A and B are shown apart, each in its own frame.
Chain A
C-alpha cells in the first residue's frame, strides 16, 4: 500500500485498513472498538441478562418437589428406626445398617442428583424424574405401620 503524503497519516489506522475498503464502503478501521459502531458490549450484556430456555419451569419444579422430598426423607428417618434385621451374624447386621444408611440418603440424593443432572434439560424431564423418585422412594415401612395403627384404633373404637 502506498504511503500518503499528507500529515494526517496514522500507522495504526493504516494497519487496520485494506486496499479497496473505500470502494466497498468499509473504510473505517475493522478493529479498535471505540472507532467502530458495532455494539459488542451491548450484545454480551443482553446474553447475560437473558434467562436460559426453560429455567423458570425448572425452578418451579424444584420448589414444587422440595417439600415432598423433605417429607420422604423424614419418612425414611422414621422407617429406619422401625426396621430391625433380626440377624445374629455380624456381617449381615453390617450390611443391614449400610442399607439403612443408604435408604436414608436415597431421597435427598435423588432430589439433588436430579437437579444436577437435569440442569440443561427441558422442565418436563426434570418433573418426570422427580415424580418417579417420589413414587419409588415412598417410605412403605412407616406407612404400613401407620396404616396398621389406624386399623387398630378403628377396631378398638
Chain B
C-alpha cells in the first residue's frame, strides 16, 4: 500500500525541479535587470507550493482506497500539477515587463 505514494512522491519531486529552479533564479535575474521589486513572488511561491498541496490532497483522497484507484488519483494530481505550473509560467511571462 505504501508503494504507490512513494513512487508518486518521487514523480512529484520531479515536478518540483522547474518551480524550485525558477524560485532560485528568477529573482536573481530580475535583480540583475534592476527590476527586483517586480519579481513575481506570488507566482514563484505558488508554483512551488502547488505540487506539495496536490500531493497531499491526492494522498488524503486516496486513503483507504485500492492501489489502482490511488494511482489514478495521483496521476490526475500529477498531470494537474504540471498543467498549473505551465499556466503560472505563462502568466508570469505575460506579466513580465518588457526588458529589451
Contact = CB atoms under 8 A, between A and B. Distances in A.
A116 B15 contact: no
A105 B21 CA distance: 24
Contact of A138 (B18, B82, B87, B94): B87
B71 to A, nearest CB: 10
A95 B14 contact: yes
Nearest to A101: B82
Contact of B79 (A83, A103, A141): A103
B73 A137 contact: no
Interface residues of A, number: 28
B39 interface: no
A136 B21 contact: no
Contacts of B72: 109, 113, 116-117
A60 interface: no
B90 A96 contact: no
Q: Tell me which of B18, B73, B76 has the highest count of chain A C-beta atoms within 10 A of its own C-beta.
A: B76
Contacts of A106: 76, 79-80, 82-83
A113 to B, nearest CB: 5
Interface in B39-95: 69, 72-73, 75-76, 78-87, 89-91, 93-94
B17 interface: yes
Contact of A99 (B73, B85, B90, B93): B85
A98 interface: yes
30 contacts: A79-B90, A83-B89, A83-B90, A92-B17, A95-B17, A96-B18, A98-B14, A99-B15, A99-B18, A99-B85, A102-B78, A103-B79, A103-B82, A103-B83, A106-B76, A106-B79, A106-B82, A107-B83, A109-B79, A110-B79, A113-B73, A117-B72, A133-B80, A136-B83, A137-B83, A138-B87, A141-B86, A144-B90, A144-B91, A148-B94
Going nearest first, the 5 A-B pairs with the smallest beta carbon separation are: A106-B79, A140-B87, A99-B82, A141-B90, A103-B83
